[in-house]
Structure 1
């Protein structure tokens, strides 16, 4: 249970629901959206660090991530223990240390399902699908950009969980930071990114 607790704290701290922007999206946002939407699938390595308020140590995990947009997400943690989280066509499963996969989706659990949808949206860079719950501000350009996501309602599910989410990237997302209400912080760095754009495989995007 401690292992699962660590996984859920860290991965679900990278979550967000399907939504739409309030107001008109900026030119920068639209340009970035089109660029990220052109990526149909990608894989990368990750290093995730969770810092707990008041503690003098951090929880660090590493592994790989594979995404096929609209179909598949595999978060394969390799250290400090093996754990695989999958979302396939909306169904989430988890397996620990090579054990049997366990289905996670609770029936009729709207909050859980929103979080699952959010995981995919933020990792896939679908910022135009986050505006129902977050104010999104984007700075920079396609070569180096920074997005701040702040919950619109402090009493909502996401407002109670997060103060802010920061996403950075260039050709693709390469960093996500989650600042929780209790000031715990999770940083995720993506590297060795390889992507397919309209059927063409590109070199590393990191």
Structure 2
């Protein structure tokens, strides 16, 4: 599973990453605004964010998650929390706050509780576009509730990324960085191969022209 840690204290971010290293591969981001953009465009199983960050703090991120209909377990790191802040955090069903002075054991209990709460929720772990639905928890794609058996792995990641950014023109470089990763040894040609394959699978169930080529720029799900 993958987690994003949004924390401007580099030592604390590294410590938190070590806490969860047995279960999560962590991506660390030191800027709240950049972290929010990453959450919007990528798939994470867990978000860990400092309550106080310039530009984008934890409360703003939680509000954005609700606005985008993204149900992602979120742990908010804080030195202290006012009653108002606690209420706003609790208002997002998949969020808990954790005092920075707490122990590793306490933190892991909070994370385990968050993940269990996520599993117990029904019909909230999916994103959809039209009749296409991606189940994040079970990593499965559906069309009209029928499983699309051949959309797995990078095909599923690609479809997920397109749905998250539907009606937005995505550059090839951006797609590559988000789906394959900036350090991937795969070439840019993989994008065309995988998009072609994804189109074929969608065409089989009647979804033609969902992924459009924007000549000279990239692609768009529209």
Higher relative contact order (CA 8 A, sep 6+): 1
Higher helix share: 2
Give the structure with higher Rg (CA): 2
TM-score normalised over the length of structure 2: 0.28
TM-score normalised over the length of structure 1: 0.30
